[in-house]
Chains A and B, each alone.
Chain A
Amino acid sequence: MFRMTVIVAGLALALTAPAEAQTPRKGGTIRMTAPYGSSFTSLDIHTTQRAQDEIYAKALHRSLYIWDSAEGKPVPELAKEVVVSGGGLVYTFKLRDDAYFHNGRKMTADDIIWSFNRIMDGTKAYPGARFVRIIEGAAAVEKGQAKEISGLKKIDDFTLEMKLTEKVDPGFYFFTALTSIYPADEGGKESFIQHPIGLGPFKFVEHVPGSRIVLERWDKFYKPGKPYADKLIVSIMGEAAARDVAFRNKEIDTSVLGPAQYVAYQADPNLKGTIVEVAEVFTRYMGMNPAFKPFADKRVRQAINYAIDSDLIINKLVKGKAYRATSWLPLTSPAYDKAMKPYPYDPAKAKQLLADAGYPNGFEFEWTTSQNESWGLPIVSAVIPMLDKVGIKVKVKQVETAVLAEVVRTGDYQAFIYSQQSGPDPLAALKCFHSSTPQPACNYMNFRNPDFDKILDEAGQTSDVGKRTQLLQNANAFLYEEAPVWFFNYNKAVMAVQPWLHGIQQNPTELTHQNAEELWVDETSPAK
């Protein structure tokens, strides 16, 4: 048994960048933007996995863990102490006794148990179920075979025991808003979706559907002196050009930049200093279906990687707003191997590999794509002539994003282009290629290789951090060799931040997801 004690109060220092070592100012209004659509899906954050919704949820709710951008890992948030026992399968959380919901009631272990049981309701398809499934007995609740998760046990009001099905770090499973803790007596009420109650640093004030969410400081928040701002407004702004005008007009404090704006902001001396960028844990790729005969051959898949000039596309089309992918794990992954080099652009080698695989004249395949500017039709259009050069013809099948998600899950494709989360937990990310992972879960290429499974299983079993990292790097290198996908890029998230907004965290899981209690505005902010 080993003991892991976490002093939560120390987090604030770790999260604050050295360059911003000024005294945070109390008061003011933070004006963030939600750039991924024209509305929030729901005020019940358990029901939605959209990055858009987590922007406001990070301020309103809290989960058992929280992402610490400075440390680059999840750390306990609602627990003061975590004790691991049972060979790494049993976690005992000594919960905070100073966490109050926005209705004034103190959080207890019952609220966590209630929230996790709710998420496993098998008639609702809550997206957080994929994380809670790691708790023993959770899957039985989902299947309707049990009413409560057997692996969750309340020791007392502020002590919770959690038994896991696998030896994993639960922090990676319980840090997103999908597993937010709701107040047990309120979360089930109809009124909750109109007026959500959370544990976060800001409480709900108003939602104007399709326009904004307004939150205000929760005075009983458990981190002393935080949050700093009085008010937080999250405005829905799906159009990049409109965000650009609003940002230049100082009406908003943050704006996610697309490739075109990224170039313009870099070139503008007044705006260059506002740019914050981070390598996010998303890998963009073209998945190849091994059931489609040519793609069953590793040499063909490798040939495709050699045939595409990825650097050219990233530089010219994506305007440098991406990092070249080597294999699956992204730059910010703890198991990323810096020594690994990406597939070089080598059409001659691609042709040779195709000839060796029995396709000297190439072949034709259907490529399913959405219209996404960073990993959709524009990229496919740029790749087509490159593949044509080595004899591979492409028939484009354009679908909308909701359809693409279904196509990918059901395997109804020859090839598709997608952006998939590839972190922050490298083990979980690589598990998407394990034979035991069903295709609809995240093994979209239906990748099955016993040698790969063996490496990954070994990584899962070891408690030696160094050995685990090495094994994960080996698994990542294995994928590079097998090339189940065309490794295109890792997303470079870019956000413009007004000079009066401080405390921005370079969160690689999603840059727009900010721990709002760390943000503050100085007196130069034009917002009242």
Chain B
Amino acid sequence: MPMLSFLIRRLLQTIPTVLAVVMLVFVLFSVVPGSIASTMSDDVDPQVELRLKQQLGLDDPLYVRFGNYIAKLATGDFGTSFRTREPVTSMIAKRAWPTLQLIFTAMAFSVVVGVPLGFIAALRPGGLVDTLAMVVAVSGLSIAKFWLGLMIMYVFALKLGWLPSFGYGDGGLKYLLLPAVTLGVSPMALFARTTRAAVLEIMSADFVRTARSKGMSEVRVVKWHVMRNALVIILTTVGLQFGGLMGQAVVVEKLFSWPGIGSLLVDSVLQRDIPAVQGSILVVVLAFLAINLLIDLLYGVIDPRIRYA
């Protein structure tokens, strides 16, 4: 029951966050220069431009437009794209799966490589493995995604011929691997550093010393005390990184011609397709909030001392 009330409370807390984001995006796109008419044609008759604005509701006062938008949003209607005249929900639906594929694969890669790397590094601090692991971690954090993506393409597609250099293909792993690794390198590096720091701190904690003094084997100490405690910190970092990955995916999607929400968002901004921009941002925000809520719930599973209060 405490978990259910925690869940309800957290869900209610998301409402003002979502509303604030929606309002911010709405106001921003009402004041930025450039209009849908100017992106549609170099030679729009002023009368046509006026009628287009009327038809799209762009001549209404801002508060009326915002009210209409919120009312539609409450019914799950994200509006209709100015450019494609498609429902925004359908546009996003087409892009959601490729984005989820990309982000989850990137996250899986970064966790599977980064966490063990940080762990191994922490078990022998200052040693060769630790030094190498941290060189990898610092490099991973520092390298620009665009450059890294090109290098990965060059090596694995052009030189080795193992994988295609771009495209979605049939959406299979063959096409997914290079963009996912490009996107996953930076969080991988962060997880390695975070894990190393967390494990080092826990290893010197009193309860670990106590466990060792009781004669517990090193393997059991690491498995039962160090790993479980470190997981809470790692999980928090994972949750935050999901949001970051959604933002960073824009560069990777464009580089690899991957059909995700990121490239939809960028193109919609450039074309002043306001409903598509609002819808894409809203989906990203909702996904970020959902993942962080899930992480919060997982805390209690990993560490029973954490209560849903």
User: Per-residue 0/1 for A12-50: is the Cβ within 8 Å of any B Cβ (1 yes, 0 no)?
Assistant: 000000000000000000000000011101111001110
* In the assembled complex, A238 has its CB within 8 A of some CB on chain B: yes
A279 to chain B, nearest CB (A): 21
- Are the CB atoms of B83 and A41 closer together than 8 Å? yes
* A residues in contact with B37, CB < 8 Å: 125
Main secondary structure of the interface of B (DSSP, over half): helix
Across the interface, B34 reaches (CB within 8 A) one of A49, A248, A251, A403, namely: A403
- Are the CB atoms of B44 and A41 closer together than 8 Å? no
- Are the CB atoms of A38 and B43 closer together than 8 Å? no
Across the interface, A129 reaches (CB within 8 A) one of B35, B48, B94, B167, namely: B48
- Are the CB atoms of A242 and B33 closer together than 8 Å? no
* B residues in contact with A208, CB < 8 Å: 168, 259
Residue of A nearest to B161 (CB): A249
Residue of B nearest to A238 (CB): B254
Inter-chain CA distance A499–B281, complex, in Å, is 44
* In the assembled complex, A225 has its CB within 8 A of some CB on chain B: no
Chain B, 113-163, CB within 8 A of any chain A CB: 149-150, 153-154, 157-158, 161
* In the assembled complex, B206 has its CB within 8 A of some CB on chain A: no
- Are the CB atoms of B270 and A441 closer together than 8 Å? no
- Are the CB atoms of B43 and A210 closer together than 8 Å? no
* In the assembled complex, B243 has its CB within 8 A of some CB on chain A: no
Residue of A nearest to B46 (CB): A440
- Are the CB atoms of A48 and B83 closer together than 8 Å? yes
A449 to chain B, nearest CB (A): 21
**In the complex with contacts A210-B263, A241-B150, A402-B39, A122-B48 CB distance below 8 A:** yes
* B residues in contact with A266, CB < 8 Å: none
Across the interface, B41 reaches (CB within 8 A) one of A127, A143, A239, namely: A127
* B residues in contact with A251, CB < 8 Å: 157, 164-167
- Are the CB atoms of B41 and A245 closer together than 8 Å? no
* In the assembled complex, A193 has its CB within 8 A of some CB on chain B: yes
- Are the CB atoms of B52 and A212 closer together than 8 Å? no
* In the assembled complex, A458 has its CB within 8 A of some CB on chain B: no
- Are the CB atoms of A38 and B95 closer together than 8 Å? no
User: Per-residue 0/1 for B253-281: is the Cβ within 8 Å of any A Cβ (1 yes, 0 no)?
Assistant: 11111111001101100111000000000
Across the interface, A193 reaches (CB within 8 A) one of B86, B257, B263, namely: B86
- Are the CB atoms of A242 and B39 closer together than 8 Å? no
* B residues in contact with A409, CB < 8 Å: 38, 42
- Are the CB atoms of B257 and A248 closer together than 8 Å? no
* A residues in contact with B260, CB < 8 Å: 210
- Are the CB atoms of A442 and B42 closer together than 8 Å? yes
Inter-chain CA distance A209–B266, complex, in Å, is 13
* In the assembled complex, A126 has its CB within 8 A of some CB on chain B: yes
B256 to chain A, nearest CB (A): 7
Inter-chain CA distance A505–B253, complex, in Å, is 31
* In the assembled complex, B71 has its CB within 8 A of some CB on chain A: no
* B residues in contact with A210, CB < 8 Å: 95, 98, 253, 257-260, 263-264, 267
A124 to chain B, nearest CB (A): 7
* B residues in contact with A126, CB < 8 Å: 40-41
* B residues in contact with A442, CB < 8 Å: 42-43
Sort chain A's interface into a size bin.
35 or more
Inter-chain CA distance A422–B100, complex, in Å, is 44
Across the interface, A405 reaches (CB within 8 A) one of B38, B48, B52, B158, namely: B38
* B residues in contact with A42, CB < 8 Å: 83-85
- Are the CB atoms of B168 and A38 closer together than 8 Å? no
B264 to chain A, nearest CB (A): 6
- Are the CB atoms of B85 and A39 closer together than 8 Å? no
B78 to chain A, nearest CB (A): 16
* In the assembled complex, B47 has its CB within 8 A of some CB on chain A: yes
* A residues in contact with B256, CB < 8 Å: 242
* A residues in contact with B161, CB < 8 Å: 249
* In the assembled complex, A298 has its CB within 8 A of some CB on chain B: no
Residue of B nearest to A207 (CB): B94
B182 to chain A, nearest CB (A): 11
A248 to chain B, nearest CB (A): 6
- Are the CB atoms of A47 and B158 closer together than 8 Å? no
* In the assembled complex, A399 has its CB within 8 A of some CB on chain B: yes
Across the interface, B150 reaches (CB within 8 A) one of A37, A43, A194, A245, namely: A245
Inter-chain CA distance A509–B19, complex, in Å, is 47
* In the assembled complex, A346 has its CB within 8 A of some CB on chain B: no
* B residues in contact with A406, CB < 8 Å: 33-35, 38
Residue of A nearest to B38 (CB): A406
* A residues in contact with B168, CB < 8 Å: 208, 211-212
- Are the CB atoms of A405 and B34 closer together than 8 Å? yes
Across the interface, B51 reaches (CB within 8 A) one of A41, A122, A212, A235, namely: A122
* A residues in contact with B164, CB < 8 Å: 251
Inter-chain CA distance A71–B222, complex, in Å, is 78
* In the assembled complex, A246 has its CB within 8 A of some CB on chain B: yes
Inter-chain CA distance A245–B260, complex, in Å, is 21
Inter-chain CA distance A412–B288, complex, in Å, is 40
- Are the CB atoms of B267 and A211 closer together than 8 Å? no
* B residues in contact with A149, CB < 8 Å: none
- Are the CB atoms of B41 and A125 closer together than 8 Å? yes
Residue of A nearest to B40 (CB): A125
* In the assembled complex, B55 has its CB within 8 A of some CB on chain A: yes
- Are the CB atoms of B45 and A122 closer together than 8 Å? yes
A442 to chain B, nearest CB (A): 6
- Are the CB atoms of B153 and A399 closer together than 8 Å? no
* In the assembled complex, B297 has its CB within 8 A of some CB on chain A: no
Point out which of B32, B33, B46, B266 has the most chain A C-beta atoms below 10 A from its C-beta.
B33
* B residues in contact with A248, CB < 8 Å: 158
Inter-chain CA distance A149–B164, complex, in Å, is 51
* B residues in contact with A440, CB < 8 Å: 43-44, 46
Q: A125-B41, A212-B257, A245-B166 are in contact. List 18 more A-B contacts (CB 8 A).
A: A38-B253, A47-B83, A122-B45, A122-B47, A122-B51, A124-B48, A127-B40, A127-B43, A143-B45, A193-B86, A209-B259, A235-B167, A236-B257, A242-B153, A245-B150, A249-B165, A401-B270, A405-B38
25 inter-chain pairs at a CB distance below 8 angstroms, sorted by A residue, are A47-B84, A123-B55, A125-B37, A125-B52, A127-B40, A127-B42, A143-B47, A209-B259, A210-B257, A210-B259, A210-B264, A235-B166, A236-B257, A242-B149, A242-B153, A242-B257, A245-B158, A245-B166, A249-B158, A249-B165, A251-B157, A400-B34, A400-B270, A402-B272, A409-B42
Binding site for A on B (CB under 8 A): 32-35, 37-49, 51-52, 54-55, 83-86, 91, 94-95, 98, 149-150, 153-154, 157-158, 161, 164-168, 253-260, 263-264, 266-267, 270-272
